[in-house]
Amino acid sequence: MPEQTLQAMQKEQKKRSLSGIQPTNTPHLGNYLGAMKNWVTLAEKFDALYFIADLHSITLRMEPAALRKQTFESFVLLLAMGIDPEKSVVFVQSSVSAHSELCWLLNCYTQYGELSRMTQFKDKSQKYPENINAGLFTYPVLMASDILLYQADFVPVGADQKQHIEIARDIAMRFNGAYSETFKLPEPYFTKSTAKIMSLSEPLKKMSKSDQNLNATVFVLDDRDTIIKKFKRAVTDSEADISYHEEDKGKAGINNLISVYCAMTKKTVAETEHEWQGKGYGDFKIAVGELVADGLKGIQQRYQELSADKEYISSCMKKGAERAASIAHRTLKKAQKKIGLFQV
């Protein structure tokens, strides 16, 4: 059997996964440790697709030049982190028109009540009361379209995104029930090692790209000195006991630092506590900062190399969009035909 045919058969046997990240800013340490670090591993396990969710990002106003720049940077970062564009499909969402087209179709199969119960809409409506737009309300339908277009078996998500997978399944079941089997029902994929990284300034809140406090968030492209300074300034309690107490909100700061340390070293909490027994917060903060800076160094160097080769990145973007579109348009055409839209 020819090697190419064997490889194709092996790929067909793999389950398909889909992951996306918004280009609203440079990914932060929480994005990296909580999701993106695992994507390289998932690419070996699944027939994986990765995309830059630029359409999702425009529910908030962005400068056009900034959106283009951050979309480019996010795409390059995926490659710099080790995702191979030859083995996985890597693309920019808006480059595949089927996302927007299927979104409109599925809007007509989604109930108002379903969307009004989505926690993200409620949260963002409170956070941005001056811009409660229809796109923010129908955001889950676009996310459902992203997933269902590619007949994804699994979607790697955090616990806070589970609701979006559930509504995607509900929409798919409603459509399938009306017209026969069209969309595969996706399952959320949770990785046991996923780290939940909190703000360095307010450790009861998740680390966020949009935090106004510059010391709260460590970005993947921050330089070494900046990373270490941010960890030195990390909020902790008045004690000096480097131990993890999950239920104690007063220990949220040191708990967060221990989580980062464990994620970077692959040590257990018990091993970390034993290693740092009798030592102070100051030394621990510096050690965590240095670990993060060292861990991100290779990604940053690769990012600089790839960013300089704009012709190569443009080629990868084009090929990725073509590969994604070939899958997506098959699903779109099937859905259009089922509904009864005229085919030409």
What's the distance, CA 319 to chain centroid?
A: 21
Of residues 202, 172, 175, 203, the one with CA closest to residue 187 = 172
Token code pair at residue 11: 């790929």
What is each CA distance from 227 to 216, 284, 285, in whole angstroms? 11, 14, 11
The one-letter code for the residue type at 124 is K
Q: Which active-site residues does the annotation give?
A: 124, 206, 209
Work out the number of other CB atoms within 10 angstroms of the CB of residue 198: 23
Q: Please compute, for residue 14, the number of CA atoms within 13 A of its CA located in the half-sphere on the CB side.
A: 19
